[in-house]
A and B are shown apart, each in its own frame.
Chain A
Amino acid sequence: RQNSPRTCQYVDLARLAHDSPFSVNEVEALYELFKKLSCSIIDDMLIHKEELRLALFQAPYGENIFLDRVFDLFDEKKNGVIEFEEFIHALSVFHPNAPIEEKIDFAFRLYDLRQTGFIEREEVQQMVATILMESDMTLSDELLNLIIDKTFADADSDKDGKISKAEWKAYVLKHPSLLKNMTLPYLKDVTTAFPSFIFNTEVED
């Protein structure tokens, strides 16, 4: 059997399932998704940044800071590619049943662009500028500053000009909709989304 989970020598499906909110069959179904994503440009069973971009934005080209951060957070080994185990680790955070602390932490690391341990005003400005460009939206500088001032007035409780992890936690617990992107409802029903895992499975959950 080509490309079945058992032929992937680096993967221990049972261990991955044990250490994540996924069952073995769900890990197998995610392997089907991983195979699809990891061979979309270079057929090497690794997700390259271009393949992540293609999956998320239907275009393999173009720089984007959010894409860079998502890729960096998935790429735990920092070797420029996402392996299956890293894929499962990161997607675990997005499971509807994952602890909210993990989602809060992931979102914080996502937005801490320079990885200083704080979300700084310049980072927020840069991210807002990126989303405006991405969506062809224009806002006056005055309104932009107002939005960022208001955000920091709410989130930066010690008024030091940057948002610490503790401040971020308090802020998102007050505004839980900010964690919406940290949950993928699809992950609750992944075996239905990728039924082809049935042809490769060796276990029945």
Chain B
Amino acid sequence: KGSDSPTIINAFQLIGMSSFLDLSGFFEQ
């Protein structure tokens, strides 16, 4: 069973989750 390997998040997806990279904060105060 399982030639499928689990999908690994790529590093930039992870990095992109930083609140400091979400400039929509400008508009949501």
Asked if chains A and B come from one complex, the reply is yes
The reply on A150 being an interface residue by CB < 8 A is yes
* Residue pair A57, B16 in contact (C-beta under 8 Å): no
Across the two chains, which residue of chain A brings its CB closest to B8? Answer: A150
- Complex: how many Å from CA A181 to CA B18? 10
Q: A56-B23, A186-B24 are in contact. Are A151 and B10 (CB under 8 A)?
A: yes
- Complex: how many Å from CA A56 to CA B24? 8
Q: A146-B8, A178-B16 are in contact. Are A110 and B21 (CB under 8 A)?
A: yes
- Name which of A128, A154, A181, A186 has the most chain B CB atoms within 10 A of its CB: A181
Task: Mark out the residues of chain B between 1 and 29 whose CB falls within 8 Å of any chain A CB in the assembled complex.
Answer: 8-27, 29
* Residue pair A111, B19 in contact (C-beta under 8 Å): no
* Residue pair B26, A147 in contact (C-beta under 8 Å): no
Number of interface residues of A (CB under 8 A): 38
SS class, residues of chain A in contact with chain B:
helix
A186 to chain B: which residues have CB within 8 Å? 24, 26-27
Chain B residues in the interface with A (C-beta under 8 A): 8-27, 29
Q: List 8 A-B contacts (CB under 8 A).
A: A58-B25, A66-B21, A70-B21, A91-B23, A128-B14, A131-B18, A150-B10, A184-B27
Chain A residues in the interface with B (C-beta under 8 A): 33, 36-37, 53, 55-58, 64, 66-67, 70, 91, 94, 110-111, 124, 127-128, 130-132, 134-135, 146-148, 150-151, 154, 175, 177-178, 180-181, 184, 186, 193
